Amino acid sequence: MSLTRNLKVIGEDKKESFYCDLCDYPLVEKKDFEMSNSYDCCHRCYLEFAESRKEAWKNGWRPKKSVLNSYISIRRKLYKQKTNKEKK
Ligand SMILES: [Zn+2]
């Protein structure tokens, strides 16, 4: 029998982010937080940019500002359409 106790350190230094580093959208779903923890971006950005180039992503690769901006503006439009069409 072991009497060794595992003391858990509470309040780790890890900063919790609530917004995507890339598109600045708030993290909503659990997946967004998971992706933010591992890839510094939300789930959508992960699918759009990181998934296909995980190695480069981990090495610091990020999409160009111009690419990012058009991606964000498309997202914004889609987001608006969605909220306008919301029936509930
Ligand atoms: Zn994002």
Q: What mean pLDDT comes out for the span 56-60?
A: 96
Q: Separation of 7 CA from ligand 1 center, angstroms?
A: 35
SS3 of 26, please? strand
What is the pTM for the complete model shown?
0.72
Number of residues assigned to the chain: 88
State the burial class of residue 43 (Cβ atoms within 10 Å of its Cβ: 0-12, 13-18, 19+): buried
Q: Where are the domains of the chain?
A: 30-85
Buried b / exposed e over 5-27, threshold 16 CB at 10 Å, is eeeeeeeeeeeeeeebebbebeb
Q: Separation of 37 CA from ligand 1 center, angstroms?
A: 12
pLDDT in tens, 9-22: 444 455 667 999 99
- In whole angstroms, give the CA distance from residue 44 to residue 59: 20
> Does 43 have pLDDT greater than 60?
yes
Residue 9: predicted pLDDT = 47
